[in-house]
Chain A
Amino acid sequence: MARVVVDVMLKPEILDPQGKAVHDALPRLGFDGIASVRQGKRFELDVEGEVSQQRLEQLCELARTLLSNPVIEDFTVHVAPDTAR
């Protein structure tokens, strides 16, 4: 069983009010020097069998159609180290 990780982030030009809310809370907690915060989503897919190139392409398609909205978000897909067998 391999773990495939999909990270989804809002495109840089899209406003991220949640990230801004987190950023606004930092000075209150004494964390200085952080210029900005962007919030994204991480999906962990436990994949049965071998993660072949073809399988990975299918998972990219999954990321494109369901896990992200290409209009407002970018995504990356990678196999978590030590899980690819």
Chain B
Amino acid sequence: MRIGVVTFPGSLDDVDALRAVRLAAGEAVSLWHGDADLHAVDAVVLPGGFSYGDYLRCGAIARFAPVMGEVVVAAEQGLPVLGICNGFQILCESHLLPGALIRNDHRKFSCRDQRLRVERSTTAWTAAYEPGQQIVIPLKNGEGGYVADGTTLAMLEAEGRVVLRYVGGNPNGSVAAIAGISNARGNVVGVMPHPEHAVEELCGPSTDGLGFFTSVLARALAG
């Protein structure tokens, strides 16, 4: 199975995401922001970083990159797409996911190993986890505060679309301690913490992040 990872100007974690795909036994494929072609991948990861220097708003310019037109069309047809950190911001700016991410309420960059609860394990990217399972993976952001209006929040909760929630303190002021959400179909998932940084014992707090990548691989094999 081929999993594509998009590199934008200013992407930071694209190489880590490619490595996580390989460690999960997938075929990692580099995708380029300026190339309006997904090269027949079976899933796409939008990695963390500071695409276009976070100018204007985080993810606002990346949304209009040539590759994103293809990602939006494919996502609407059911292609699994995972946005991590800046990738989550890009998914919100693209309107593939509702709401937005704003500056942390305490105004500092957060960087820590973060405990999370997996609220939904029926998405393309979280099937490897048990519902309610707690995991610890790195979190690092300056603009990770998830916001949405009351109607949208009620819809996300009612439809079970909150995928991850912060446990043991809210690190950035996100409403309802939301760390990740999905679209209605469950193929598009955005998360603020970084599963690709928790895939090896040697250089991460755990290997809890690997499940995101094995989930999408298992889904492809089953499908």
Contact call A15/B102, Cβ cutoff below 8 A: yes
Number of A-B contacts (CB under 8 A): 36
Interface of chain B: mostly helix, strand, loop or mixed:
loop
Question: What residues of B have a CB within 8 angstroms of the CB of A17 in the complex?
Answer: 102-107
- In the assembled complex, A76 has its CB within 8 A of some CB on chain B: no
Interface size on A, residues (CB 8 A): 12
* Docked-complex contact A15 and B64, CB < 8 angstroms: no
Chain B residues near A72 (CB-CB < 8 A): 100, 102, 147
B172 to chain A, nearest CB (A): 10
**Which B positions have Cβ atoms within 8 angstroms of A?**
56-57, 60, 64, 92-93, 98-100, 102-107, 145, 147-149, 173
- 25 of the cross-chain contacts (CB-CB < 8 Å) are A10-B102, A14-B102, A14-B147, A15-B102, A15-B145, A15-B147, A17-B103, A17-B104, A17-B105, A17-B106, A20-B107, A21-B107, A66-B56, A66-B64, A67-B56, A69-B57, A69-B60, A69-B93, A69-B100, A71-B92, A71-B99, A71-B147, A71-B148, A71-B149, A72-B147
